[in-house]
Structure 1
Amino acid sequence: MGVVRGVILDESVLFAEGDDDKNVSLLQPGAESLIRTLFLSRIHLGISYGMGIPNDKVSILKRIASLYSLDCFILDDLISEVMPAWSNTDGSILYLVSNKKEFLPKLNNHSWVIIALKLGGESSCETLNMLQIENLEELPLTICHLNKRSTETNTLTVGYIMKSSRVEDFAKRGAFPLCPTENGLMFAPLTSKLSLSSQLKDVDIVLHKATDEIVSIEENKLTFTHNMQELQKYLEHHKDLCVVDPLSKIYPLLDRVEIQKVLLGLVELNTEGSYSIRGAHFLKVDNFDEFNFTTGLAEARLSLPCIVKPKVACGVSDAHTMAIVFRVDDFKNLNVPLPAVIQEYVDHSSTLYKFYVLGEKVFYAVKKSIPNADILMKSYNGDDLKPLLFDSLKSLPTADSIHDSGASNSNISIDLKLVTDAAHWLRKMLHLSIFGFDVVIQEGTHDHVIVDVNYLPSFKEVPDDISIPAFWEAIRNKFDCRVV
């Protein structure tokens, strides 16, 4: 058999049992989720049904087919209807059917891979070529297993674990194909519906966004979701499994103080007569009421206004609650979670450079950002310089929201070599394969200031035809260069 490039889901695996008694048609739990996973994995997908099924079921199937632009057809003793649309499928076709449904012998003539979903009871499907699975969620990894058997030994299965919205973002751009990429990667979701250890046995590489799986952070102790906890336990006993990236390596990015300490080392990249790259000046505060800000700010080389951020960088609901403070007195009773980091506010002409490190490759995009301090004071506060509170994930006071956007940044150019060198330096220091960081250029000094670092960013500002292959290459290189 060849690589599975087409999947046909029979209606017998899509509908829950007992529908007739309830006089209502309900999809199996996980059925539409599986369809969406297969659809986004860029595999040829179809839905089949037999003669005589209730009209309401046919309507549901056709609605789903229309929603995902799938083939929907009758598949009985005569299968000529489906073959013209699938005759150009370059590879094997997989047919998933309930073990209770009578098998169509003519399917063997077309060398289809038959998989029976075990729904209890005796099987009506009798063929030596048939596989069986017990849950719909098993299908993606089963496809990867079949593809690995039919290809060269260097084909690898990447199991990914991240929140659904993150999966959707990557999958929509073609980042998670089930068919092997040019460099031999296949992607399958690791689901909480099945035993994680049983799934990981069929996985060569784990890709995660652990920062999305944090339930709480208390006294520097992380609590992850149950699924991520299970992954942690598994990795402790299977240290040879390739992970992009090891959980221990992302911990510094969860703490704004720790990452600021790392950025202090950028000084070694700076040379006399050239622009400098550095982290923002910062100060950690445990209590707004008891701290001497007049002395503390001066010692930390900070001047007002400042931006105040929680020490915890992600994973909790208020990690992105921030404030821009214009007066010393306003630090007291400031509604930003403690402990906090007071960070230098850099005048940067409303221009932010987002850099993405995908293995050895570095990309960037330019975005609108927060205006200079004088524009903020004039446009947002007027004579009342009260702190400006915002959630950095939801709404930034960008230059687009202000008619008077201040000085033009046309005379400020970025030193790409300097920042690229910094990207490689950070990659080496952090031991990460895929991460991002934000750079602003300070007016006057032209200092290149890194103001944020994050793990596994979406990098969606970079065109997919460039970023996605680089993403795959970074994952593959992580595996090929691993030390076991």
Structure 2
Amino acid sequence: MVGSTLGTRMGGEINYLTVAEKGVFDEGKIVAAQRKSSVGGGFSPPLKKVVVVGYALTSKKVKSFLQPKFERLARNKGILFVAIDQSKPLSDQGPFDIVLHKLSGKEWRRVLEDYWNEHPEVTILDPPRAIQQVHNRQSMLQDVADLNLSDRYGKVVSKAGLRLPIVAKPLVAKSHELSLAYDEFSLQKLEPPLVLQEFINHGGVLFKVYIVGEAIKVVRRYSLPNVSKYELSKSAGVYHFPRVSCAAASADEADLDPRVAELPPRPLLERLAKGLRRRLGLRLFNLDIIREHGTRDNYYVIDINYFPGYGKMPEYEHIFTDFLLSLVKS
């Protein structure tokens, strides 16, 4: 897919490209009822604690994330999901063990931070201030570059300058839209502020690396096709794409060139995920990674998303419920 907004080359080398900006170039108290059961001569076994997860999500997110199969598994494991009523004080609801959220706006951030100050025993997924970091595409990938990842799998090096074609993305990471510009003059037609990335040929495949706590899951997705030197010499203007990858464009079962389909090295992904969890202060996010076409170990991180579409991640039900239970145990 696209080059790298401070993309990050991983594997043989992890690079980040120079970034140019254009312009500035259900309601009420939840009581977990414990049912008593008698065994044999009336002895009751230890009561199993119910883990209450309050969630504040958009209706679209609820539909994609809280799927029936997931909720059934969660109930069987002793996890209860309860919708947070935004029209009522958060402290009047619960009690919660965990608050899971993905809402925007200063007022919600204030409500959540006030609640956390009053209830430090509750786990917030994830802290609002940490989430803010990945809303800005320039700062989010600077964290990748700052990791200075260097071992036998590669290192972070800077790469100055941007070559055509150029990928332009909104600076604020609330949109999946991107534009591919074949000449400098076309960039002037785009609405700032933007983050510009050099387009990197990558065989039309990107790797989505889902991170849930310490768990890592990688899937392949179709991406933008390679651009040849001939196409570059003959093309002009700007091409707009609503988004690059989607669930329907899974490339996991496709008959791909093994050199294109090979997943990034596991040790590299583990080091990267661990470093970003520490730097970002997040436990729920994913990375979009591409491998430079014609190389075996040059990878670029091109995007980071908070609380992505986990419903598209294989086995997310088991991974996520195990993660929630681990938070309570720890």
Q: TM-score range by the shorter chain?
A: 0.7 to 0.9
1-side partners of 2:202 and 2:233: how far apart?
A: 21
The aligned runs of 1:334-345 (5 Å cut-off) are 334-338=189-193, 340-345=194-199
**Structure 2 counterpart of 1:186, one-letter code:** L
Aligned to 1:300: 160
1:219-242 deviations in whole A, cap 9, x for unaligned? xxxx34x55543333223333321
Structure 2 CA distance for partners of 1:230 and 1:176, relative to 1, 3 Å: farther
Aligned to 2:32: 145
Ranges in structure 1 where 5+ consecutive residues have no aligned partner: 1-136, 215-222, 282-298, 401-407
Structure 2 CA distance for partners of 1:409 and 1:308, relative to 1, 3 Å: farther
Q: Is the 8 A contact 1:355 1:363 kept in 2?
A: yes
Aligned to 1:458: 309
2-side partners of 1:179 and 1:311: how far apart?
A: 37
**Structure 2 counterpart of 1:477, one-letter code:** S
The aligned runs of 1:87-98 (5 Å cut-off) are none
2-side partners of 1:393 and 1:243: how far apart?
A: 31
Alignment partner of 1:424 out of 248, 262, 274: 274
Alignment partner of 1:360 out of 203, 214, 229: 214
Aligned to 1:327: 183
Structure 1, 363-372 or 242-251: larger mean CA deviation: 242-251
1:271-307 deviations in whole A, cap 9, x for unaligned? 3xx4x3759x7xxxxxxxxxxxxxxxxx833211111
Q: Is the 8 A contact 2:178 2:240 kept in 1?
A: yes
**Structure 2 counterpart of 1:145, one-letter code:** A
Q: Secondary structure at the match of 2:52?
A: strand
Q: Is the 8 A contact 1:359 1:470 kept in 2?
A: no
1:414 aligns with 2:267: no
Displacement after TM superposition at 1:424 (Å): 2.4
Aligned to 1:240: 121
The aligned runs of 1:307-318 (5 Å cut-off) are 307-314=167-174
1-side partners of 2:245 and 2:282: how far apart?
A: 27
**Structure 2 counterpart of 1:342, one-letter code:** L
Q: Is the 8 A contact 1:440 1:448 kept in 2?
A: yes
Q: Is the 8 A contact 2:222 2:250 kept in 1?
A: yes
Q: Is the 8 A contact 2:149 2:155 kept in 1?
A: no
**Structure 1 counterpart of 2:113, one-letter code:** Q
Aligned to 1:385: 236
The aligned runs of 1:202-281 (5 Å cut-off) are 202-209=95-102, 213-214=103-104, 223-224=105-106, 229-271=110-152, 274=153, 276=154
Displacement after TM superposition at 1:455 (Å): 1.0
Structure 1, 414-423 or 159-168: larger mean CA deviation: 414-423
Higher helix share: 1
Structure 2 CA distance for partners of 1:337 and 1:321, relative to 1, 3 Å: farther
Structure 2 CA distance for partners of 1:179 and 1:327, relative to 1, 3 Å: closer
The aligned runs of 1:151-230 (5 Å cut-off) are 152=47, 154-177=49-72, 180-182=75-77, 184-200=78-94, 202-209=95-102, 213-214=103-104, 223-224=105-106, 229-230=110-111
1-side partners of 2:298 and 2:35: how far apart?
A: 50
Q: Is the 8 A contact 1:358 1:471 kept in 2?
A: yes
Aligned to 2:42: none
Q: Is the 8 A contact 1:313 1:320 kept in 2?
A: yes
Displacement after TM superposition at 1:252 (Å): 1.2
2-side partners of 1:196 and 1:347: how far apart?
A: 48
Structure 2 CA distance for partners of 1:146 and 1:344, relative to 1, 3 Å: same
Alignment partner of 2:316 out of 429, 446, 467: 467
2-side partners of 1:372 and 1:267: how far apart?
A: 28
Structure 2 CA distance for partners of 1:177 and 1:337, relative to 1, 3 Å: farther
Structure 1, 303-312 or 320-329: larger mean CA deviation: 320-329
How many residues are treated as equivalent by the alignment?
Answer: 289
Structure 2 CA distance for partners of 1:372 and 1:321, relative to 1, 3 Å: same
Q: Is the 8 A contact 1:350 1:370 kept in 2?
A: yes
Q: Is the 8 A contact 2:112 2:128 kept in 1?
A: no
2-side partners of 1:237 and 1:365: how far apart?
A: 39
Displacement after TM superposition at 1:457 (Å): 1.4
CA RMSD of aligned residues (A): 3.3
Q: Is the 8 A contact 2:289 2:302 kept in 1?
A: yes
Ranges in structure 2 where 5+ consecutive residues have no aligned partner: 1-25, 38-45
Q: Is the 8 A contact 1:204 1:242 kept in 2?
A: yes
Query: What percent identity do the matched residue pairs reach?
Result: 23
The aligned runs of 1:43-82 (5 Å cut-off) are none
2-side partners of 1:158 and 1:267: how far apart?
A: 36
Query: Rg larger in 1 or in 2?
Result: 1
2-side partners of 1:175 and 1:343: how far apart?
A: 37
TM-score normalised according to structure 2 size? 0.75
